[in-house]
Structure 1
Amino acid sequence: MAFCRSLRRSEIAATNPWDQFVVPRLDTLVGAVDVEGELLDRLTARGLITRDDWERLRLPSVTKRDKARALLMDILPRKGRGEAFDSFVNALRETEGQKNIVEILELPPEKDDCRRCTEEMREKWLGAEMVLLAMRIKHEKFSDHVEQYWKTANLPSPPLRHCFGKIAEINGALTIAQGNNVFRLEGDKWKQSHISVNVRHIMKCQNKGYILTGDSISRTQYISELENSTQVLATVPEDHLLVDVSTIGHKDKIFVVGGGDAGSNVSQAVSCLDSRTNEWTKLKSTPCGRSVCSLATIDSKLFIGGGIDSFLTGTNAFECFDLEAEKWINLCPTANKLCELSILNGKVVATGGSPKFDAVEIYDNATDSWLPLPPMKAHRFGHGACTAEGNKLYVAGGTIFSNLVEYFEL
């Protein structure tokens, strides 16, 4: 199951996740969740519901159906955050109704066995994750204080969707690609232009814009200059596969990392293109293969975060490649999976992802830890992020509220 396919499914969920994924299964879940028995005790012990909730659900005057609806539609989404929903699923598995719950959520018996799962089972896992995602999104609220930190930029048209790898500051202007369209922020207005190739990635190298494009007929990917998009400068090495590779420009080099295919294969390849000679150098492979990961660079360090791993699930792994020592270093994982990396004031910042879609955190190199920043106004993953105008962190696109472009300024 390729990530592009999962994004399409996620896009459907983002349209109206509650109606699409929860309501059709709710009555069946209500009939199977035993709110009278050990499930309530387990959820209480894990801190997923309070003692007051526990006592209210235990009232004999409330029917089982009403109790189950309250649990699934109100209490758990309201109380649950992040790993709490994994605990919820685990608690369901540990009850006598495990078989029914597994069937309702369409899960394989154990997620740890997913390497041996069929593609159909992987699709079922995605469907289950969308149910839990929808339960969270329905009850997430924007913080009242966010407005003083995150500001809204003017919106380009048409509305943005997935902008991963398609946003950069080029020649002093925030630049966003949408298919064959390029939007540049000039003053307080967006200027739209059309190019003849489909942009998969935008990167800045020596303050010049470069793009990654692909040819579905020859099954090849190319690097070209943005201003001369039809002239191929270099062909991307085949070991990066053809889906969801990641790119970034740094000084006079362009780095290409990972990638996947239409199946379950992901690449560990890391390649470096010299923009002066258009020659490739193969670098040391990543510790684990990933597609649709995010990249950031500081000095002689190449950072990689998020993405899809060999189990076809989102990861929060965070690693650094020391270009001088030529070695990979494992760092503290991000709080979210599928986050987008960028640089702000010389530090790595991670935005969005799952499960906290509005989260923003900054990496502290001295303590190898992540510190929270004010959350974004919109919930995002599959979005783009970059620093422009020196100290403004821009984010755009994603699966939810996708046409909202906002920025954070220190």
Structure 2
Amino acid sequence: MDQRWENVVKPVFSDLVQVLDPLALRDRLYSNDLVTREEFQRLSHLHTKEEMTRMLLVDILPRKGKTAYDRFLDALQKTKGQEHVVEEILRPTKKDSVQNDAQKIKDLEDRLANAEAALSKQKLTTAGLRIKLGPRWYREHVLKWEMMKLREPLPLLECNPYGCVAEINGAVHLGWGNKIYWLKNGKWKEKRLETSSPIGSLIECEGNGYVINGGGFFGDRCKTISVWNNETEELELLTKIPPEYQLRHRSAVGHNGKIYFVGGFDGKKTNQVDCFDIHTKTWSEAKRTKQTRWASSLAAIDDKLFVGGGWGHSDAECFLIKEDRWVDIKPNTKEDCEWSSWNGKLVATGGHGSSNVVEMYDDSAGDWLPLPPMNKGRWEHGACATKENKLFVVGGDDVCNSLDGLRWPFGAQCFL
């Protein structure tokens, strides 16, 4: 049982009886599948607020698994007239929260000191590390994973936007199925595309958005490259992909006027790397990866392509574009994560089994450094960095141990 029921809710139970509307909360929890039909009927036969509140907070919800407490608070915030109850519950814990944040800062500063000591022994410079990972940077930026406060939730029933999230002209865009969604003024807008294949990749290159139809999560062959026109909110065909490049489960990234396609599957895994010039509309073959791979993580930073993982792989490589060669790099700790270029660094979020782990690759040291975890575990999600140096993460699978089994957390998180 989540100890917060015992440590947070129980001490304020008598106060909650006075302010809680158990009937409204019962209906909300039932609609969110946190209360079963049988439990709903049992609650309906009770006669007093105290009896109903006790059954909900003592008998039913604490037995619903690790996520029940957070879902209970979320239900309160969305129940009309009950928003203030969350403040009643959390008020006694605010002092402890401040103390916990102070301890987190101290732990992070200690971890930084250990990392610098290790680099010093290897006779590597720590100047860049201090700029990026100094205590002030941790305090002002790292301790701020926040759930995005949107005016309305993302209008999707399910969403695995792996490789399909990008900032285009200052707005975060997301591709899923045959629709594009974009965030504007805290609200999601959507556009259905007249395409024969679902969106495989949505990427940004030189300020424009490019949609690759097929080749992604759904397993179709990649067939076309189109430009997303932000003004007309229409998709304009740029080119058809030649048959020899039409592979399944390809990873794509934009860099310096070119779109790179890495790996893929066509009956077997491939190490094929192809390049499309968006200005000349010509194709060329690039140096192949050392390992065959498909559905891999891919990011571009400073004339380098970083690729890692993929089905059946936990290794990682880096393509030095100017030198036209691939070199091995140390892989991060989680497989099937999403890689992003953020603040000039490679950041890995989530991973297989819905991990909330976040790591940053320090190229000068050749090692991964831990960052504070996300609020939610995610897998096959989408992520992108914004021009404001924020890291935006959305969608993915969340495997929980409750009776719900597999559920979809379509909240969006932002790493400030």
Tell me the TM-score range normalised by the shorter chain. Answer: 0.5 to 0.7
Deviation at 1:219, TM superposition (A): 5.5
Amino acid at match of 1:235: K
Secondary structure of 2:346's match? strand
- Cα offsets for 1:171-207 (capped at 9, x unmatched): 1100011212211111211122222123111011111
* Partner in structure 2 of residue 199 of structure 1: 199
| CA drift at 1:152 | 1.0
Shift of 1:234: 2.7
In 2, the alpha carbon distance for the partners of 1:268 and 1:280 equals 17
CA distance in 2, matches of 1:366, 1:159: 42
- Once the two structures are superposed, the pairs formed by residues 18-167 of structure 1 within 5 Å of their partners are 148-153=143-148, 154=150, 155-167=153-165
Aligned to 2:328: 330
Deviations 1:105-144 (A, max 9, x none): xxxxxxxxxxxxxxxxxxxxxxxxxxxxxxxxxxxxxxx9
TM-score of the superposed pair, with normalisation by structure 1: 0.59
What is the alpha-carbon distance in structure 1 between the residues aligned to residue 272 and residue 242 of structure 2? 9
CA 1:356–1:212 in structure 2 vs 1: closer, same or farther (change >3 Å)? Answer: closer
Alpha-carbon deviation of 1:381? 1.3
Which of 245, 251, 254 is residue 250 of structure 2 equivalent to? 245
Q: What's the offset of the Cα at 1:229?
A: 6.5
Structure 1 193/369 Cα, relative in aligned 2: closer, same or farther at 3 Å?
same
Q: Is the 8 A contact 1:179 1:199 kept in 2?
A: yes
2: CA distance, partners of 1:327 / 1:319:
10
Checking the alignment, whether the CA contact within 8 Å between 2:221 and 2:248 is kept in structure 1 is no
Is contact 1:201–1:211 with CA below 8 Å preserved after alignment?
A: yes
2:307 pairs with one of 299, 304, 309 = 304
Q: Which residue of 1 aligns with 2:44?
A: none
Report deviation, 1:356: 6.8
Question: Residue 320 in 1 paired to residue 325 in 2?
Answer: no
Partners of 2:338 and 2:357 in 1: CA distance = 11
AA aligned opposite 1:253: K
CA–CA distance in structure 2, aligned partners of residues 348 and 148 of structure 1: 18
In 2: Cα distance, 1:379 partner to 1:240 partner: 34
In structure 2, the CA distance between the partners of 1:369 and 1:356, relative to structure 1 (3 Å rule), is farther
Distance in 1 (CA, whole Å) between partners of 2:396 and 2:245 is 24
- Paired residue type of 1:408: F
CA gap 1:291/1:229 in 2 versus in 1, 3 angstroms? farther
Between Structure 1 and Structure 2, how many residues are aligned? 259
Q: Take 1:229 and 1:200, find their aligned partners in 2: how far apart are those partners? A: 17
Q: Deviations over 1:209-228 (max 9, x none)?
A: 11101399x96611111238
Residue in structure 1 matching 2:263, options 251, 258, 263: 258
2:135 — aligned with what? none
* Residues 374/167 of structure 1: CA separation in 2 closer, same or farther (3 Å cut): same
Q: Confirm whether residue 408 of structure 1 aligns to residue 415 of structure 2.
A: yes
Contact 1:240 1:258 in 2 (8 A): no
Q: In the aligned structure 2, how far is the partner of 1:355 from the partner of 1:332?
A: 21
Q: 1:229 to 1:254 in 2, by over 3 A?
A: farther
Percent identity (aligned): 36
Q: Which residue of 208, 228, 234 corresponds with 1:226?
A: 228
Q: 2:288 aligns with which of 285, 288, 303?
A: 285
**Relative contact order, CA 8 A, sep 6+: which one is greater?**
1
CA distance in 2, matches of 1:187, 1:229: 20
**Pair 1:344-2:342 in alignment:** yes
Q: Does 1:269 align with 2:282?
A: no
Deviations 1:307-348 (A, max 9, x none): 11xxxx2x2212110110000010011111111100111010
CA distance in 1, matches of 2:409, 2:294: 22
Q: Distance in 2 between matches of 1:240 and 1:275?
A: 16
Give secondary structure in 1 for the equivalent of 2:214.
strand
**Contact 1:337–1:355 (Cα < 8 Å) also in 2:** no
Q: CA deviation at 1:279?
A: 0.4
Amino acid at match of 2:328: N
Contact 2:225 2:238 (C-alpha < 8 Å) held by counterparts: yes
* Bigger Cα Rg: 2
* Cα distance in 1 between the residues matched to 2:353 and 2:154: 27
Instruction: Give the letter for the 1:192 counterpart.
Output: E
Q: Structure 1 residues 219 and 260, CA, compared in 2 at 3 Å: closer, same or farther? A: closer
Gaps of 5+ in 1: 1-15, 17-143
How far apart are residue 266 of structure 1 and its match? Answer: 0.9
Letter in 2 for 1:224: S
In structure 2, the residue corresponding to 1:226 is in which secondary structure? strand
Unaligned stretches of 5+ residues in structure 2: 1-32, 34-99, 105-141, 399-407
Q: TM-score, normalised by structure 2?
A: 0.58
Q: Please give the alpha-carbon distance, in whole angstroms, between the structure 1 residues aligned to 2:299 and 2:221.
A: 27
Native 8 Å contact 2:354 2:397 kept in 1: no
Aligned to 2:223, what secondary structure does the other structure show?
strand
Partners of 1:150 and 1:408 lie apart in 2 by 5
